[in-house]
Structure 1
Amino acid sequence: MFESLADWLVFDLLEMPMQGHLSDTLHFFVMDIVKNFFMLALIIYFMGLLRFHISPEKVRDYLQGKSKFFAQLMAIALGGVTPFCSCSSIPLFLGFLRAGIPLSVVFTFLIASPMINEIAVIILIGVVGWKATLMFVTAGAIIAFFGGILMEKMGVEKYILNYEAIKNAKTMSMENLPIDNAWKKMHQYATTEAKKIIAEIWKWVFLGVGIGALFHGFFPLQWAETLNSDNLFAVPMAVIVGVPLYSDEVGVILWLKQCCLKVLPLVQHWHL
């Protein structure tokens, strides 16, 4: 479906040649941009239905009487389905502080949220396969788990601005929404969240697909082969390139896809 649309636009409507760097680049861009926005809208919508029923108080009540180990595992899972942005992770983080959830659990959630992104994970499976994706998720979960413990051991609460005020403030999260079993309200919330998140990340998706399209059409394979694991500067270069691209994981993965096709070693991709 997506390839047929790209074929019609590039080769039929624009009448570009079937072979050529520019036509290959444009064809890839059109096909991937439509496909990825379709997937993003669908995934974010269904994740919104799930998050509609999540509130800090519900999480706190569920964790009562359970071990801190279990609580941190649940925090990692919740962080994985919560996009890291000001409209979701940060309000939930503040809500968890207010609800009195242990700091190790709260920071485990905050660390896991950007590292394990449900949308990025689903796209990543299609790029590098489920085994490599599982390794990536496991590494992120381990970092989040021990990072949360470390933050609590360091007594980080004394460095949080207005910590006591936050604990006593009105929760800034989804708990303030009128939650019931009405499908209309669930649909309205999920649709609103999908529109809001896509409005925030669309430019990064365009950037990621655009870079990937340029790689696909113009990137010389011979140069890619020089960036192998024997190159002393390969991994540091990947880190330097990855820092400014971390504005959105999905955009980075779309670029990573083309890096994989251009045979850059997998170890360098994870540093992005």
Structure 2
Amino acid sequence: MNTLTTSQKSWPLRQPAAFLALAGIIWFALYQALLPTSEALVSALPVDRTSHLGGAIQFFLYDTPKVLMLLTGVVFVMGMINSYFTPERTRALLAGRSEGVANVMAASLGIVTPFCSCSAVPLFIGFVQAGVPLGVTFSFLISAPMVNEVALTLLFGMFGWKVAMLYLGLGLTVAIVAGWTIGRMKMENYLEDWVRDIPKTSAEFEASEMTLADRVDGGFAAVHEIVGRVWPYILAGIAIGALIHGYVPEDFMASFMGKEAWWSVPLAVLMGVPMYTNAAGVIPIVQALLSKGAALGTVLAFMMSVIALSLPEMIILRKVLKIRLIATFVGVVATGILIVGFVFNAVL
């Protein structure tokens, strides 16, 4: 086994506290320079800054490094925090809890655990083995991809803390209520037979002692894994957002996704389901839609459906769930998202 001595480790791992302080200062200085730098770059190009093309280019040049910096910083910090929330620890925290309380815990854990829809099947199986109730498992599976650190960070960076907290509250409410509702329906018989027959195992876990250097190393690993996986979606989302920002007329978007069109919320949900992206890819599009007059409730409904009800996730879950349970899951979550969209279009 290869074991690095202290002298052989890289500087961040030998002096983690100093590294974190210096990295934070450099990150903040670079972040503050993004807007003037993007404006200077557009001014140096042979395009009119006030034209459609100039606006689209400035949007792309500013938002791309902004989103990537926000994502890298928060994923690094959450990678350090996530070392406390292994799959074993998560299952142990949820196993044996009563419904209601467990739904709240499961949805809350979804915010800080590094799991996405691609982890749905192994997580689902692990929860079943640990004896976690079906409804509680669904609260976690809804919350983990929809209300995660990536979504909240990008929303905060683009719209401020009020919208980020609003999305946090809405996402948690949908996850808690939908999971509890599915739990009350007693649909365990609609798990695939091989899943129901899996022998139950202990949900115990062994706590491991980790140093600050170990957690810094975990932060680097999280950045490599998560940012390395989602950056193409970020670029695609920002490119689409730049085109919407630069070229789509405000009147068109307001009529298509505005408050006055009652059908805009269900249409937004239907449009979001077949899309294959995540928070990193959809939030730049959300920003552009809102800047063009789309209603907040409609846009939130679109975003939630893209993240929580994506067709690829349904295909993955088909391995462990029968069609009726998948249909119930989609129906309950979609109803919650529709209510969110209609309510916020009515009150805002």
- Superposition TM-score tier, normalisation by shorter sequence: 0.7 to 0.9
Q: Does 1:184 align with 2:213?
A: yes
Equivalent of residue 186 in structure 2, options 143, 154, 168: 154
Give 5+ residue unaligned stretches, structure 1.
none
Pair 61,230 (structure 1): closer, same or farther in 2 beyond 3 Å: closer
Q: Output the CA distance in 2 between the equivalents of 1:165 and 1:136.
A: 38
Q: What letter is aligned with 2:231? A: W
Checking the alignment, whether the CA contact within 8 Å between 1:112 and 1:140 is kept in structure 2 is yes
Residue 6 (str. 1) matches residue 38 (str. 2): yes
1:175-197 deviation digits (Å, cap 9, x = unpaired): 79x94322333222322222121
Quote the residue 2:284 is aligned against: 254
In structure 1, the residue matched to 2:89 is 58
> What displacement does 1:260 show?
1.4
Change over 3 Å in CA distance of 1:210–1:169 after alignment to 2:
farther
Please give the alpha-carbon distance, in whole angstroms, between the structure 1 residues aligned to 2:255 and 2:118. 42
Counterparts of 1:94-243 in structure 2, within 5 Å, are 94-152=125-183, 153-156=185-188, 159-160=191-192, 162-163=194-195, 166-167=198-199, 179-227=208-256, 228-243=258-273
- Please, what TM-score do these two structures have when normalized by structure 1? 0.82
Q: CA deviation at 1:214?
A: 0.9
Question: For the structure 1 residues 167 and 45, does the alpha-carbon distance in structure 2 shift closer, same or farther, using more than 3 Å as the test?
Answer: farther
Q: Name the structure 2 match of 1:48.
A: 79
Deviation by residue 1:154-183 (Cα, 9 ceiling, x = unmatched): 232652353256556899xxx79x943223
* CA drift at 1:8: 4.0
**1:12-46 superposed Cα distances (whole Å, 9 cap, x missing partner):** 3x444433221221121011001001111111111
Distance 2:202 2:60 in 1: 45
> Would the aligned equivalents of 1:212 and 1:255 in 2 still touch at CA under 8 Å?
yes
Distance 1:166 1:55, change over 3 A: farther
Aligned-residue RMSD, C-alpha: 3.1
Write the distance in 1 (CA, Å) between the matches of 2:147 and 2:66: 22
Report 1 or 2 for greater relative contact order, CA contacts < 8 Å, sequence distance ≥ 6: 1
AA aligned opposite 1:258: A
How much has 1:80 moved relative to structure 2? 1.6
Kept after mapping to 1: 8 A contact 2:290/2:296: yes
Q: Output the CA distance in 2 between the equivalents of 1:213 and 1:56.
A: 38
Distance 1:269 1:150 in 2: 25
What is the percent sequence identity of the aligned residues? 31
Distance in structure 2 (CA, Å) of the matches to 1:60 and 1:120:
23
**CA displacement at 1:100 relative to structure 2:** 2.8
Contact persistence 1:111–1:144 (CA under 8 A): yes
Query: Where does the alignment leave 5 or more consecutive residues of structure 2 unmatched?
Result: 1-32, 303-348
2:148 and 2:34 map into 1 onto residues whose CA distance is 24
In 1, the alpha carbon distance for the partners of 2:122 and 2:91 equals: 15
Higher mean C-alpha deviation, range 110-119 or range 89-98: 89-98
Distance 1:22 1:161, change over 3 A: farther
Give the aligned residue type for 1:266.
L
8 A contact 2:130–2:202 mirrored in 1? no
Task: Indicate if the aligned counterparts of 1:235 and 1:268 stay in contact, CA closer than 8 A.
Answer: yes
Q: Secondary structure at the match of 1:231?
A: coil
